[in-house]
A and B are shown apart, each in its own frame.
Chain A
Amino acid sequence: MKLVIIAGPPSAGKTSLAKQIVKRFKDELTIAFLKIDVVKAFEDLELKKEFGILTKKFYSGDLCPDHAGVMVLGDAVEWGQKNAAELLIVESAGLCLRCSPYLNQGLGIIVLSSISGIHAPEKMGAMVSLADIAVITKIDLVSQAEREVLIQKIKEVHTRIILMETNALQGNSLNRLYDLIIKSRDIDRDKLMLKGNPPLGTCTICVGKKEVGWKHHFGVVQKLDGQIAEYLYRGE
């Protein structure tokens, strides 16, 4: 079974891209689709209705959706394999800018919209830098010059990523993506690992203590200007 994980901010065009991938491969491969979201999602119903493929959704609730993803992906892979799926597509919620849902196997795709602003790719850290492929959507809504400015900006920040542009409603120019999916190797369920570093462990905020101000908390906490250990992630 091949694995494609699609991440990206809300309304970037993740589902639209997933639909194009399904449209392209549905006659060749048995496809399963999983949507991970926090409180509400309709993608499972939508894709089931439109393409008649196997779909499922999972709500992460109080957990960071990427965090939740790590825990349920093992089950999801099992679910896909049990149903003889040859391609599993996972659409993440794309809300946590600290984490990234990509694994050491399969393809990780970050979906970015041309109209979400020029600084968005810089602010998204791991969600962009750990992806294999960046797909820029909504190119029908901006000028060619602006598309090229955006691409240049992403290239300067994320030098290794494979970049593509599309109108995700029509699926223009996605042949390169389809080739990469065809060439991607089947995953080995026992060797799946999260690509990025998970966020640091528990503190009193994690377990639900609501008082504001660091004095009330212990564990991994940080003052506004204060020192924290060098090895802790503090954002850029």
Chain B
Amino acid sequence: MIFDITILPGFDKNGCKEQYTYIKLKAGDTVSIVGPTGSGKTALISDIELLAQGDTSTKRRIFVNGEVPSDEIRFNPAMKPIVMITQNTKCFADLTTEEFLQIHARARKIYDKQVIQKTIDLANNFTGEKIKKDTRVTVLSGGQTRSLLIADAIMVGASPIILLDEIENAGIFKQEVVNLIHKAGKMVVFVTHDPVIALLTKTRIIMENGAVKKVLYQNEPEIRAAQSLLELDKKIGTIREELRAGKSITFDLPAVNYA
């Protein structure tokens, strides 16, 4: 069972050592990784996913429960305590959704036969256009692919650590994903440009030039700001759905004031 992971410093893009001794993330932590495009956010979560041992471009090392993870944990998907949703929105495997999930369940040694249908049902909660079990994964839209992969990560991956790379761009229902943050026990790491998601997490890692620049912890005003942004976000969501459904807006929108 995973209790914590430790990130040991590597080197930035200029080869300078990162300025922290270690970063420890514990079970149940919610973490966001923010910073400009190209600053190394994806590289950082890839290091965690690969359980890097100085063998990636950043030269970082990742410990599990304070120790170097065994090869079994690093390379056997059935033992891997980590799932990652990448920025990719395309599948290349010429398989139906059902076959894809069946093979993945075998890889992760999940034997519950119902898991396939449950995964598809969950995916269909995240997206407008429904996925059927005999739809080929190669023809799924970007949003459908992302939704399926997130549902797969939760149901088939079923791991204590979940890493999500810019899911806000996937055209999926963010509220559902925010609910996922509050699912107990899991360590959730978001790479994000979305202030709502960033403010909702307990720990915030700021990236620059391939290195961790700062680690911040959520403060009281941020918790309140997150709540009001969430309200606003819900309103925007409602309006978005009205517009999508072909309706007109017939009421005055509330003014926003953050003074």
Q: Does chain A bind chain B?
A: yes
A residues neighboring B (CB under 8 Å): 114-119, 140-146, 148-153, 156, 163-164, 170-176
Q: List 26 A-B contacts (CB under 8 A).
A: A116-B92, A117-B92, A117-B93, A118-B93, A118-B95, A119-B94, A140-B46, A142-B90, A143-B84, A143-B85, A144-B83, A144-B157, A145-B149, A146-B91, A146-B92, A146-B100, A148-B77, A152-B77, A152-B106, A171-B55, A172-B50, A172-B52, A172-B55, A172-B57, A173-B52, A175-B53
Q: Do A152 and B103 contact each other (CB < 8 Å), given the known contacts A117-B94, A172-B57?
A: yes
Shortest beta-carbon distance from A124 to chain B in Å:
16
Among A115, A116, A149, point to the contact of B107 (Cβ < 8 A): A149
In the A-B complex, the 9 residue pairs with the smallest Cβ-Cβ separation, listed nearest first, are A152-B107, A118-B93, A148-B77, A144-B84, A148-B107, A175-B55, A115-B92, A170-B57, A172-B56
By beta carbon, the residue of chain A nearest B43 is A170
Q: Please indicate the chain A residues that have their CB under 8 angstroms from the CB of B77 in the complex.
A: 148, 151-152
Q: Which residues from A are CB-within-8-Å of B181?
A: none
Residues of A within 8 A of B153 (CB): 144-145
**CB nearest neighbor in A for B89:** A143
CA distance A114 to B93 in the complex (A): 9
With contacts A117-B93, A145-B152, A151-B107 known, what are 10 further pairs, Cβ within 8 A? A116-B92, A142-B86, A144-B49, A144-B84, A144-B86, A150-B93, A152-B106, A156-B106, A170-B57, A173-B55
A169 (CB) vs chain B CBs: closest residue: B57
Contact status of A145 and B56, CB under 8 A, knowing A117-B92, A119-B94:
no
B86 cross-chain contacts in A, Cβ below 8 A: 142-144
Q: Which residues of B contact A143 (CB under 8 A)?
A: 84-86, 88, 91, 145, 149
Q: How many residues of B contact A (CB 8 A)?
A: 34
Closest to A116 in B: B92
Residue on A nearest B47 in the bound complex, by CB: A172
Cβ–Cβ < 8 Å partners of B95 in chain A: 118, 149
Identify which of B75, B84, B145 gathers the most chain A CB atoms within 10 Å of its CB: B75
What separation, in Å, do the CA atoms of A146 and B156 have in the docked complex? 12
- Whole-angstrom CA separation of A174 from B93 in the bound complex: 24
Docked complex Cα distance between A160 and B50 (Å) = 23
Is the pair A173, B56 in contact by a Cβ cutoff of 8 Å? Answer: yes
Tell me whether B57 and A152 are in contact (CB under 8 A). no
Report the Cα distance A210→B140, complex, angstroms: 45
Q: A146-B92, A148-B77 are in contact. Are A153 and B71 (CB under 8 A)?
A: no
Q: Which residues of B contact A144 (CB under 8 A)?
A: 49, 83-86, 153, 157
Residue of B nearest to A164 (CB): B75
What B residues does A173 contact at CB under 8 A? 50, 52, 55-56
List residues of chain A with CB within 8 A of the CB of B149: 143, 145
The answer to whether B55 touches A146 (Cβ under 8 A) is: no
Q: Does B193 count as interface, using CB distance less than 8 angstroms?
A: no
B108 at the interface (CB under 8 A from A): yes
Q: In the assembled complex, which residues on chain A have CB atoms less than 8 Å from the CB atom of B46?
A: 140, 172
B30-53 contact mask (Cβ, 8 Å, vs A): 1 or 0? 000000000000000010011011
Which residue, of B53, B83, B91, has the highest number of chain A Cβ atoms within 10 A? Answer: B91
